[in-house]
Structure 1
Amino acid sequence: MSVVIVTGGSRGIGAAVARQLAQRGYAVAIGYAGDHDAARGVVASCEAVGAQALAVAGDVADEADVRRLFDSAATLGPLAGVVCNAGITGNTPGRLDEQDAATVRRVLDVNVMGVFLCNREAVRRLSTRHGGSGGAIVNVSSTAAGRGSPGEWVHYAASKAAVESMTYGLAQEVAAEGVRVNAVAPGLVHTDLHAAAGLPNRPAERAPMIPMKRAGEPSEIAEGVVWLLSDAASFVTGATLPISGGY
């Protein structure tokens, strides 16, 4: 059974990705930060449809934790793909000149260094140059990368712009080594990211500015991720797919 690693897999988009992968016959290794009950719930839902699954707690910005996640995933079978979904905004919205340096540094550690470490480990295990059999990487960006998120999370938007640049550059490096690297850029989505930032009503309040007049669901983002991992996207690499309702 082919294995896909999903970071930030205990909730929101990551949990939806894990469940859809399980339904499609993949084994799933879920990386998560600290919500043990939520992670166990996602594992149980994957196992309920006949898939193998496990959850590993850790920090994607920590090299040792990333290696442990990948080593644990290897116990399920051969690695086929990696979804780098873990990400944080760090705090409630505000101007850049109001941000605390330590908070911004942590956002960059998780959102940029975390993606770098997971992408690097994925290439080391998937690339034919390293003896692997190929596979796919999908990084989760945000449409904020293109908008800049003024007055809210400029630092978060910058971190996601870095993810898109990393995605494109890495795709060029490993295209001839059997590894495809793409990204999805969700728009406004119903996840607890907003509540964690102290704005639980943000999706409803922002919905009118979206051409489709609603926020997205995690399952809708997951569909794009799973497609990019699949053979149906075999000629797609270096792309960032907006899934945003037109905004």
Structure 2
Amino acid sequence: MAPVTVITGGSRGIGAATARRLAHQGHDIAFCYRRDHHSARQVLADIHATGRRGIALAVDTTDPDQVTGLFDAAADLGDLTGLVNNAGVTSPIGPITDLRVDDLRTVVEVNLVGYVLCAQQAARRMNTGGAVVNVSSAAATLGGPGEYIHYAAVKAATDTLTIGLAKELAPRGIRVNAVAPGIIRTDIHAVSGMPDRPERAADRIPLGRAGDATEVAGAIAFLLGPDASYTTGAVLRVAGGL
């Protein structure tokens, strides 16, 4: 039986790269996205081109009923073996004094509440073991001063969620880890109002460049796979030295 993995936020960026990577490694994939139907269709076509099965659903991961629907759909592919908690948002870059309450609430809802709801569904359905990978951020330990302290704080909560879940679910053979990307070339920077941020930040990254989504996908695939069979509760930094 092929592994069955759910990926949230799978139409673009790290999620899309992970979907393609895992399909090439033999996973059947159920992924969700919010609005970009065109990109979702492209990712789904790439999954099918590998010979694997795939499902793509438009889902709001902050809605418990829609999250349940995503995991119900994934069950049509077989027993769930993996979850990649990736769906995330940021808000316009700026100092804490300019932060709008609506943006704060959205960042908390998507990046924390959504992760918890998806992890809860995975924990309920992984009856024969499995693996969860939460996508955190290097900002969790850097703090995001002057840019997005609220986002960094929520990603620190992701790390805590990872550690707690790892300890709670280990007796059931479910491993829980996280990746903490640094500055990666994805569309998320456009949402923050600084689409060229990866290029601007290159000189302060020890490796001298921003990362690529495929490099994060490789770390996620490792944590989901058998080579990480004794790894749980870890936060793997993929940040070029930041």
Q: Which category of TM-score, normalised to the shorter sequence, fits these structures?
A: over 0.9
1:23 aligns with 2:24: yes
What's 1:78 paired with? 79
Q: Which runs of structure 2 are paired with 1:32-71 in the superposition (5 Å)?
A: 32-71=33-72
1:157 aligns with 2:155: no
What's 2:207 paired with? 212
1:105 aligns with 2:105: yes
TM-score (norm 1): 0.96
Residue by residue, what CA displacement relative to the aligned partner does 1:104-146 show, whole Å, maximum 9, x if unpaired?
A: 00110000000000011100011xxxxx101000000000000
TM-score (norm 2): 0.98
SS in 1 for 2:81: strand
What's 1:129 paired with? none
What's 2:120 paired with? 120
The whole-number CA distance in structure 1 between the counterparts of 2:92 and 2:204 is 20
Residue by residue, what CA displacement relative to the aligned partner does 1:58-90 show, whole Å, maximum 9, x if unpaired?
A: 11111001000000011111211000000001x
What's 2:94 paired with? 94
The whole-number CA distance in structure 2 between the counterparts of 1:49 and 1:242 is 29
Query: How large is the Cα RMSD of the aligned pairs?
Result: 0.7
The whole-number CA distance in structure 2 between the counterparts of 1:134 and 1:60 is 23
| Shift, 1:195, TM fit | 1.2
Pairs aligned (count): 241
* Equivalent position amino acid for 1:118 in 2: C
What's 2:237 paired with? 242
SS in 1 for 2:44: helix
| Shift, 1:92, TM fit | 1.5
* Equivalent position amino acid for 1:60 in 2: T
SS in 2 for 1:79: coil
The whole-number CA distance in structure 2 between the counterparts of 1:123 and 1:199 is 37
* Equivalent position amino acid for 1:203 in 2: P
* Equivalent position amino acid for 2:120 in 1: R
| Shift, 1:103, TM fit | 1.1
SS in 1 for 2:201: helix
Moved over 6 A (4+): none
The whole-number CA distance in structure 1 between the counterparts of 2:202 and 2:52 is 36
The whole-number CA distance in structure 2 between the counterparts of 1:19 and 1:209 is 30
Identical aligned pairs, as a percentage? 49
Unaligned stretches of 5+ in structure 1?
127-131
